[in-house]
């Protein structure tokens, strides 16, 4: 059924559900155009860390956005308070299908009738977790990478998403310093992540097979492509637990994928070496 688009976008808040590595960055980008952004997370530690991160980086990031100005960011453990009156709510919780179903069912009951519900899921399509949603026409995949350094965004319909929702986001997102690209059919991994998954998996396989080390793979990558970071450093920034969740999802869809990359990730995750967020992953030089 048709969806009534949100009115008065400039006067209404945006909410982000989840204060983790990406949640705090998404919130920061939506705070580059003034206005109010609310983060919801049940854990006070991540909420405090998110606010500290945004407080440190928002002024410089907003200055790089055309017409940007720092907005007001707050954090709460109360989901209902976070989403009250919002025109857009972005889910950024861990990559677990049962959790996403629960979150979207809850959000559908709490948000305004004209609010857009977006998932930052990096591997699940929204069609897989909207069975508890009464208004699937307002739900959309809106997958961020690592803003502000990687400002591209995947947009994708669930198959039920109102076309006007996609057009609204294609029009509005560049004003926040992020740039949307539409996946024109439903696809696990969207656009860039589908390509990145193959690169990431083969990089892990090279190390799992004993052919090379994370450091040498990254250094060759830097020399040959001129990038600041290689695949292993990038995985450390995402979080190796998140990378493993994504790889497990791909493997469930494609049983023929080699197990070596997931086994390598599992060793690091079981040891508590998740990357930047724990101070150690494939590299151990992370501080602060």
CB 181 within 8 A of CB 152: yes
Residues of CATH 3.40.50.720 domain(s) within the chain? 9-183
* Coil, helix or strand at residue 80: helix
Q: pLDDT tens track of the chain, all 288 residues? A: 678 999 899 999 999 999 999 999 999 999 999 999 999 999 999 999 999 999 999 999 999 999 999 999 999 999 999 999 999 999 999 888 899 999 999 999 999 999 999 999 987 899 998 989 999 999 999 999 999 999 999 999 999 999 999 999 999 999 999 999 999 998 888 999 889 999 999 999 999 999 999 999 999 999 999 988 999 999 999 899 989 988 998 898 888 999 999 999 999 999 999 999 999 999 999 875
| CATH architecture of the domain with range 193-278 | Orthogonal Bundle (1.10)
* pTM of the complete model: 0.82
Q: What is the reported pLDDT for 61?
A: 97
Residues of CATH 1.10.1040.10 domain(s) within the chain? 193-278
CB 88 within 8 A of CB 7: no
The encoded tokens of residue 283 equal: 């590299």
Question: 9-183 maps to which CATH number?
Answer: 3.40.50.720
Point out which residues pair with 156 in neighbouring strands: 141, 183
């Amino acid at each position: 059924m048709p969806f009534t688009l949100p009115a008065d976008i400039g006067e209404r808040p945006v909410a982000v559900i989840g204060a983790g590595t990406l949640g705090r960055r998404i919130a920061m980008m939506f705070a580059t155009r003034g206005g109010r952004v609310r983060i919801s997370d049940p854990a006070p530690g991540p909420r405090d860390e998110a606010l500290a991160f945004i407080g440190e980086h928002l002024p410089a990031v907003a200055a790089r956005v055309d017409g940007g100005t720092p907005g007001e960011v707050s954090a709460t453990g109360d989901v209902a308070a976070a989403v009250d009156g919002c025109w857009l709510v972005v889910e950024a919780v861990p990559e677990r299908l049962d959790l996403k179903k629960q979150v979207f069912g809850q959000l559908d009951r709490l948000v305004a009738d004209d609010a857009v519900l977006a998932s930052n899921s990096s591997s699940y399509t929204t069609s897989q977790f909207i069975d508890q949603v009464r208004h699937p026409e307002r739900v959309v995949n809106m997958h961020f990478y690592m803003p502000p350094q990687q400002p591209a965004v995947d947009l994708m319909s669930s198959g039920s998403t109102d076309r006007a929702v996609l057009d609204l986001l294609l029009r509005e997102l560049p004003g926040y310093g992020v740039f949307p690209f539409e996946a024109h059919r439903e696809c696990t991994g969207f656009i860039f992540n589908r390509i990145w998954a193959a690169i990431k998996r083969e990089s892990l396989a090279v190390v799992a097979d004993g052919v090379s080390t994370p450091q040498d793979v990254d250094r060759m990558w830097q020399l040959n492509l001129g990038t600041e970071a290689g695949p292993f450093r990038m995985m450390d920034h995402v979080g190796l637990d998140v990378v493993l969740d994504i790889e497990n999802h791909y493997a469930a869809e494609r049983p023929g994928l080699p197990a070596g990359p997931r086994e390598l990730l599992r060793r690091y995750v079981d040891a508590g070496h998740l990357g930047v967020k724990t101070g150690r992953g494939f590299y151990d030089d992370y501080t602060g």
